[in-house]
Amino acid sequence: MNKEEYCAIEYLFGTAKINLFSVHLSTYRDERILACKELNRIIGKIDKNEIIIVGGDFNVGVTRQGKGKYTFEKEEQYEEYEILGKKLKRLPNDEDTWFSKLGQGCIDTIFYSDNIQLLTYKTIDSENKSDHSAIYAEYNI
């Protein structure tokens, strides 16, 4: 895949196997859609009893205009999220997580398998240490 970074970490907690994915998707929509389809393909190979959590910068609504220039357009639904939503649930976060002179929007989130229960989540302000706010989530596993 071009310009996407995937980091998968597998941990064993008691009898629960947890698959963690960290993503940073492209600022080009077509590449994001391909990446989400590929991620679904990978997730489809994971045993249904295993836990899956995918979090990161999905860059939904972001369009690269040139070197260091981006725009953000909020949409009711993002195709990238619809693709991943076929296999996973998404946090219902909608607060802006990306801040730039060129735009801002909610482009960071977490997806998770339906065999765990979301307890709480929140957006954590980075206090200008990053152009992104962090997303925090707790689950009952």
The domain spanning residue 84 has which CATH number? 3.60.10.10
Find the helix or strand (DSSP H, E) in which 128 lies: none
Q: Distance (Å, rounded) from C-alpha 66 to C-alpha 81?
A: 25
What residue ranges of the chain have pLDDT lower than 50?
1-3
When divided into structural domains, the chain yields a total of 1
Torsion from C-alpha of 62, 127, 68, 30, nearest 10 degrees? -20
pLDDT recorded at residue 8: 61
pLDDT recorded at residue 13: 56
Q: What is the 8-class DSSP label of residue 60? A: T
Question: Could you list the residue range(s) of the whole structural domain that residue 103 is in?
Answer: 5-140
* Six token digits for residue 114: 């339906």
Residue with token string 């977490």: 110
pLDDT recorded at residue 1: 45
pLDDT recorded at residue 2: 45
pLDDT recorded at residue 23: 97
Q: Please answer whether residues 114 and 90 qualify as being in contact, where contact means their C-beta atoms are separated by less than 8 angstroms.
A: no
Q: Distance (Å, rounded) from C-alpha 62 to C-alpha 108?
A: 11
Q: Distance (Å, rounded) from C-alpha 128 to C-alpha 137?
A: 21
